[in-house]
Structure 1
């Protein structure tokens, strides 16, 4: 299945808002979803790393998916993150997730185990065969401890029918260009790095799955649309307007930065679950200053 038209542009890796008692704040999640759609993002990604999935239990994950798809109500596509580093347990867990109203599953490469390229290939091959929705690979070596090489990505794209795309967050532009050069025509390739989305679209990527679009949805999604339409002057202007803000998002930890922004914008409480903690006071002050000057 081709996702290139369905998921072109800006996807948002949704945060999971928490109340002060650390319970999931579904009211704030619904408010955030409405704000993102109103401001022009093309699709939403539930249960990504930005959603603090390592600290969510299975019941919360199911409830978050249901809340998200019900609130979206078919206005934009929804992608769900499902991953793990125990392949057999991951295969058993797929049926627990309500995926009927979603368009694809985003699955990160196994973390911590540091599998070989053949191990990564076999893991994804098994997952794609069991998954009822098209699979988008997620390569994020800074979190997983291992890289999916361009050769492995292209092999998966050509040999596994249900693998439909990749979110590439290696930061290696040469690797990205090799994927773009050798991918099947309908294989979706999106940036997993907000800072590099513009230059990677210039290389041929189809968009981005973004952290920054949680808090800068209008400007960021317009930047991506401008880049895709080759309106590069407009895209660069927005990139540099947001650049310092994007720096602050990742100054300490994701999603500490984006939750700080959303708190200052009145969207959510500034609450994270341990081992993550809110942005330190020095960076919190810089977030306030950026908002006053730029938003």
Structure 2
């Protein structure tokens, strides 16, 4: 193949108690176009979502390019030159899987150019590049994913979320970096907190797929969110206020975006959302889409 177009969804990881394990694909998409050229590298970033075009590199450092190169090497594909065009809608550093989406798009583009369907090795490639599989697998597979790592191999299972699920996002202007917020997590947690969170993670799978009436208790967490709260006090405040109003709210990924898992798409008028851009997004059930030309 000489050209490929890839559409990849945003994702929300953790979903409360499912730390580094649960991911949900969302209906907000980055699109890239890759064309094989005679030589060299040309990168065009036409929009960078909330990140701003200026801060996105347009050379070999670009994350899509790096993932594309790594996947091509793994697939034994040699490209004489690459022209990459990016149409980004997923805001950067907001906990919506923008980095994972970039990696997945590069991996998917390599598969498309190689004329190969996406497979389990694509999950491995994207996840090892990203460092964990929750966001990457959600963007690849769509729907709800359960991800895990066993002896260096990443795996994911896709589940179909309950059709009544209507996620609502509250995205602040402030940004957060995964490395910084992960550094706030303790090396050890109390056994009672671990057991509590394990029970809620198991319940979350049931609530998200079969019984959304259980979403509020199912999204309780004692493993990571309260440790990260000092990094984004307004996010922590909004999560607490939403939960007090009966809404199953969590921090999306490493934050600072708030994810509200509703069945009606409504945030109660009593909850103050000033400083956040609130939008309802559908669950993306298809995952990454690849069109070759």
TM-score by length of 1: 0.29
- Give the number of the structure whose residues are more often strand, by fraction: 2
TM-score by length of 2: 0.29
**In terms of Rg, which structure is larger?**
2
Higher relative contact order (CA 8 A, sep 6+): 2
